[in-house]
Structure 1
């Protein structure tokens, strides 16, 4: 699975770029991650997107919008640690250590992200937190499998390597938006 995370800031043509990523097959899902945004701003972006794409969108913030628009899922993080009370869609979560990942695996999350796997493209000074040996050991222990998505410094050209490492997919941020 290839998941693209939006840039944290809005930009002209963003809805068209999201549409192109999803309709071209470059991305299976888009995570709308706008940590400084208002609910109104996120809702405007949703309204600019074709409704047929809603089942392929996941929100990191303003989770009630996921219910209102029938989106695929919500992503839990430090800002938003719980899904809406009546949420029945997919739930995913961010993990930044093997300990967090082990705890998350006890829940029924659709998938979990683990980061940073490589040095970040979009966040200066955000370096890989795991060695290749540590990742291999985690895979052998059953911590890393098809439900774990690699995040942090992941590019489209690294997808095969990610799969070889045992991850179920990749979450891409910087590489997807480098021309915007």
Structure 2
């Protein structure tokens, strides 16, 4: 399972994420578009070195290696140039340890990805909880569309426990959650419930 942070910091966010990182294999996507490089570094350094290995940075990729982060995410607008720009600034020995992910918003976009990407979001599956109105018009229809099995397929958008149950026999490799967790009355409990559903497939 993957968790996305909200753009703005929330109360006890770091503490909750550290609790959730105790769940095996869980990855946390740090999506903070308004953070400066210094603010991002301060945020990341609140996690232990082992925890940082399961963080995914969406911004300020150039400082990720020094912070001990090995998962980098490029939004669709940065995808074409993101990896090449990053690799041009780093030594090849370090690059081999980095895992790349990206965002897609149609099956055509996902199927056209190069094998460089370890994983990709496809969204929105359902209307978003964190972005009001997003996903209302053109949700992704998931049945019988997948032919790319090199890049892990991560379902995103309006995912909660009820919808995870409905997606049990789908073709996704994993799911990412955001608003359903952060707007829940008990974020930890909601995340743990969703995690158990995913790992019962």
The equivalent of 2:144 in structure 1 is 137
The equivalent of 2:129 in structure 1 is 121
Task: Indicate which of 54, 57, 73 corresponds to 1:56.
Answer: 54
Q: Aligned-residue CA RMSD in angstroms? A: 2.2
Where do 4+ consecutive residues of structure 1 move more than 2 Å?
A: 78-81, 128-131, 143-146, 156-163
The equivalent of 1:101 in structure 2 is 110
The equivalent of 2:166 in structure 1 is 161
| Contact kept? 1:98, 1:143, Cα under 8 Å | no
The equivalent of 2:199 in structure 1 is none
Aligned length: 173
Task: Flag structure 2 segments of 5+ consecutive residues without an equivalent.
Answer: 188-201
Secondary structure of 1:176's partner?
Answer: helix
Task: Indicate which of 157, 161, 174 corresponds to 1:152.
Answer: 157
**TM-score under structure 2 normalisation?**
0.77
Task: Flag structure 1 segments of 5+ consecutive residues without an equivalent.
Answer: none
Q: 1:130 to 1:11 in 2, by over 3 A?
A: closer
Deviation, structure 1 residue 107: 2.3
